[in-house]
């Protein structure tokens, strides 16, 4: 891996492919592109600032003798609430075992059983034990460290620590590079193609398990470049964020419930009693169950007491450490939990090669809408998806015709807006349970800052407007005023559509300052 000062990138003419983001999606894509030249643009030093390192659950793959990709795909479709594309689910599931083998070949330290076979865990809605993990509940961190080591010794990858501020386009509208910013200086970075691997949107919410940088900037870049965004309303709220006042909120992995942990209220009564699937119901169902219990005034806890609590230090060391830091001993005390924004199923609409609707622009990982997750992501499918699409993206991006000269466009005006007020709006109006008046208020509140160039406000507005337009309840999108399901359709939105929708909402006093 090489590192260069930013000024060298302003030179004209480049065959490089630019990957924005250095989580599992960006790193896997960069490695699959080798030996083609790649510039990896990351806002933080390599290995930091990405949600990948925080992933506790693992990687879903049909590795067991009683399992098969078709079973994994069927579970994925079942979780997706009618919007998962079956062919995509099968293709990704079929890639799973080979991707685990690829990581093993890179020396990823996956957990093994006494016989030396991969230790496979169980999570909600999975019909088989198929969760491949590392370090108990440290899978994301250990896989990230593995990929960082490999990228660091890959000579075709050049690292640029900078922020991506705009996408450059040629006269045809094809993406021709990125406008970057470092130390207050903006400079052009031309390239043959751009791959967005910028992660999710959780930090747009006051309660989140995501890093502070997860504000959906890649989605704003894509929207401003003319890309179609799909299913932006589907934000997954993890049911069991540890409620100790931290921001971001630490996570108690779903695998705990797979190993026997139960959700209870302050009286010890089961929170999920009478709800199909109980404690192992899909995440959207469990999140709503907890939300509704708390709305009734109950306190909700994850009960790991007994044998699981005793084993937690070795089986779930990350959660054990988080509990210890909060003064909780899970052997004798239940863990206070509540839902928090965790994963975004929507994103840049892409095809099987990761190509967006804009020539030269690709998306991989959480920033993309691939058709895999539908309205509700199956646990431990996110790391899998990022790796599964990387080879096809690498092949397609390398074959993109060289763009023309980038147009001299005025830089997008920038406004940071009032970030904490924005997060409060999203938490209150665009959270676990939604309704028309609250969503319209959110659109009204967010539109001025979005128009002024605040990327966080633009992405938030895309989510709120999409949620307002979906007049039904499906998966992670629950409308209290429209609790029934309609025919399954995707929500697609371009920037021009968004402004028209915002203008149609009754004008009012915005609370997010521009």
Q: Are 75 and 378 in contact (CB under 8 A)?
A: yes
- How far is the C-alpha of 10 from the C-alpha of 54, rounded, in Å? 35
Q: What is the DSSP letter of 121?
A: E
CA 495 to chain centroid: 21
- How far is the C-alpha of 385 from the C-alpha of 93, rounded, in Å? 9
- Cβ neighbours of residue 59 closer than 8 Å, sequence gap 6 or more: 96, 99, 100, 103, 131, 132, 133, 139, 143, 380, 383, 384
CA 364 to chain centroid: 10
Which residues are annotated as catalytic?
Answer: 283
Q: Taking the CB of residue 514, how many other CB atoms lie within 10 A of it?
A: 16
- How far is the C-alpha of 97 from the C-alpha of 63, rounded, in Å? 6
The β-bridge relationship of strands 131-132 and 157-161 is: unpaired
- Cβ neighbours of residue 53 closer than 8 Å, sequence gap 6 or more: 23, 47, 140, 141, 144
Three-state SS at 188: strand
């Amino acid at each position: 891996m090489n590192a260069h000062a930013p000024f060298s990138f302003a030179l004209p003419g480049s065959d490089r492919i630019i990957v924005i983001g250095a989580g599992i999606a960006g790193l896997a894509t960069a490695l699959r592109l080798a030996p083609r030249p790649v510039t990896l643009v990351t806002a933080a030093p390599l290995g930091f600032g990405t949600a990948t390192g925080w992933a506790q659950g693992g990687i879903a793959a049909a590795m067991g003798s009683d399992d098969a990709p078709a079973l994994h795909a069927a579970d994925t479709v079942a979780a997706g609430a009618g919007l998962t594309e079956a062919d995509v689910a099968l293709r990704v599931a079929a890639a799973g075992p080979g991707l685990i083998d690829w990581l093993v070949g890179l020396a990823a330290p996956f957990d093994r059983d006494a016989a030396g076979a991969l230790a496979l865990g169980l999570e909600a809605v999975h019909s088989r034990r198929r969760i491949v993990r590392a370090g108990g509940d440290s899978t994301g961190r250990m896989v990230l460290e593995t990929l960082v080591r490999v990228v660091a010794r890959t000579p075709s990858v050049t690292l640029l620590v900078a922020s991506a501020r705009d996408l450059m386009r040629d006269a045809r509208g094809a993406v021709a590079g990125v406008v970057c910013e470092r130390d207050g200086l903006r400079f052009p970075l031309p390239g043959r193609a751009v791959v967005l691997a910028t992660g999710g949107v959780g930090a747009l919410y006051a309660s989140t398990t995501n890093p502070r940088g997860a504000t959906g900037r890649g989605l704003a870049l894509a929207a401003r470049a003319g890309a179609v965004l799909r299913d932006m309303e589907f934000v997954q709220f993890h049911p069991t964020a540890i409620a100790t006042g931290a921001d971001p909120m630490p996570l108690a992995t779903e695998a705990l419930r797979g190993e026997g942990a139960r959700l209870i209220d302050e009286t010890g009564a089961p929170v999920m009693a009478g709800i199909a699937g109980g404690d192992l119901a899909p995440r959207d169902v469990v999140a709503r169950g907890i939300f509704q219990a708390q709305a009734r005034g109950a306190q909700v806890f994850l009960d790991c007491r007994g044998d699981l609590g005793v084993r937690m230090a070795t089986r779930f060391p990350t959660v054990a450490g988080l509990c210890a830091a909060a003064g909780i001993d899970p052997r004798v005390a239940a863990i206070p939990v509540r839902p928090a924004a965790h994963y975004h199923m929507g994103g840049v609409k892409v095809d099987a090669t990761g190509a967006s609707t804009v020539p030269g622009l690709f998306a991989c990982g959480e920033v993309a809408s691939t058709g895999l997750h539908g309205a509700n992501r199956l646990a431990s499918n996110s790391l899998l998806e990022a790796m599964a699409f990387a080879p096809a993206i690498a092949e397609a991006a390398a074959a993109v015709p060289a763009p023309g000269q980038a147009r001299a466009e005025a830089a997008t005006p920038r406004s940071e807006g009032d970030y904490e007020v924005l997060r409060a709006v999203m938490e209150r109006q665009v959270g676990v349970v939604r309704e028309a008046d609250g969503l319209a208020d959110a659109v009204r509140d967010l539109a001025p800052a979005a128009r002024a160039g605040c990327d966080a406000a633009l992405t938030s507005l895309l989510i709120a407007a999409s949620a307002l337009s979906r007049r039904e309840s499906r998966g992670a999108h629950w409308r209290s005023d429209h609790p029934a399901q309609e025919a399954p359709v995707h929500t697609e939105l371009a920037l021009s559509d968004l402004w028209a929708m915002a203008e149609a909402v009754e004008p009012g006093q915005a609370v997010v300052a521009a």
